[in-house]
A and B are shown apart, each in its own frame.
Chain A
């Protein structure tokens, strides 16, 4: 009987900690999702005819952003938060390389064929995300050392 009471108490405490966190994460994720939806509505009208692959690419980016936003908020004050920060940076690297076709975009419009070469810009974006991954690692190390001290 005593063991069940202890378990009920710790479950209640866990829910007490988790529910506000999940609620807060849901609100923030909903705001981010609304901004992405608004951005999609503005851009899709212009790009749908010229760049049909845009919808699939944007959907992947939007769902990835929403997922990582929720996951980072929910795991706040835990080591997992920094794992998700690093994971988000890695996801962005893979996504940017795939979405930009390695920095070489092509478009056919009327009788013209356009090519956009953005390899230096792509390299800069990859560098930024590598720095974000490094920052995530340092933050995880700092969090671990602070937790150990406590």
Chain B
């Protein structure tokens, strides 16, 4: 019994030493991560292609600490005026102790998602509320989570999108529409837009397609001619504009005013 008691005593001492030393060494390891060149971001890329808005953020983690970093998870939640737009969550590769890991964090927002959640993002500049949280484990034992909120400005690709009828040519049966907008984003906005013209009985009376390629911070203004079904045209109706099959604008038109 005495040997058992003695063994238990030593076991308790050793376990207490491990229990107290582990957080101290983890803390020292984390201090190394706070050094200036431990975590760095490279040049970000924002782009639009095939109905997807993408933000690509390459970065590196230089783990000069004593323990591996594992289960690294970054979550970004985007909201506008308390309305959720999207949430992205990515599991990043582990960073062993003494190693540098290069990785890339990509946020992708589809046009379909923007149209369904908040159509105004396409036509209005606004501020977005971002909630960024990161979680990782040190030594596979202690988990650390950090989260913060920030505002980020959003610039609209079709700022002030306006469609208005100019005239109707009875002889050629062509309706002229003035279409204008400003691309306030940092990337080229390209894609096919489709204009559908409806009469006041909600009947489709004409449509046209055109390919857009508007560089960043440029405006677009053009008069588009649409061949109309002469027998069904009315004095007023509405026009729908689609981008990559997603409706981005619906507006009434009136030939008299």
B152 to chain A, nearest CB (A): 14
**0/1 per residue, B134-146, Cβ < 8 Å to A?**
0100000111111
Could you tell me if B5 and A121 are in contact, using CB atoms closer than 8 angstroms? no
Contact size range, A: 20 to 34
Q: Are B142 and A131 in contact (CB under 8 A)?
A: no
Indicate if A132 sits at the interface (CB-CB under 8 A).
Answer: yes
Say how far A34's CB is from chain B's closest CB, in angstroms. 21
Cβ A128 vs Cβ B142 within 8 A: no
CB distance from A108 to the nearest CB of B (A): 10
B172 within 8 A of A: no
B142 touches A142 (CB 8 A): no
* Chain B 173-228 residues near chain A, CB threshold 8 A: none
Least CB separation from A125: chain B residue? B19
Select one of B18, B135, B145 contacting A124, CB under 8 A.
B18
The yes or no answer to A4 lying at the interface (CB within 8 A) is: no
* Nearest CB of A to B16, in Å: 6
Contact B15 A128 (CB under 8 A): yes
Interface residues of A in 109-124 (CB under 8 A from B): 111-118, 120-121, 124
Contacts A138-B5, A142-B1 given; indicate if A121 touches B141 (C-beta within 8 A).
Answer: yes
A31 is an interface residue with CB less than 8 A from chain B? no
Residue pair A116, B5 in contact (C-beta under 8 Å): no
- B135 — which chain A residues lie within 8 A by C-beta? 115
Against A, the Cβ 8 Å flags (1 = close, 0 = not) of B107-150 are: 00000000000000000000000000001000001111111111
Query: Roughly how many angstroms separate A131 CA and B16 CA in the complex, as a whole number?
Result: 11
Task: Specify which chain B residues have a CB less than 8 angstroms from the CB of A118 in the assembled complex.
Answer: 23, 141-143
- Chain B residues, Cβ within 8 Å of A114: 144-146
Interface flag for B2 (CB, 8 Å): yes
Task: List residues of chain B with CB within 8 A of the CB of A11.
Answer: none
- Shortest CB-to-CB span from A123 to chain B, Å, is 10
Q: Report yes or no: B144 in contact with A115, Cβ–Cβ below 8 A.
A: yes
Contact residues of A with B, CB < 8 Å? 111-118, 120-121, 124-125, 127-128, 131-132, 134-135, 138-139, 141-142
Q: Which B positions have Cβ atoms within 8 angstroms of A?
A: 1-2, 4-5, 8-9, 11-12, 15-16, 18-19, 22-23, 135, 141-150
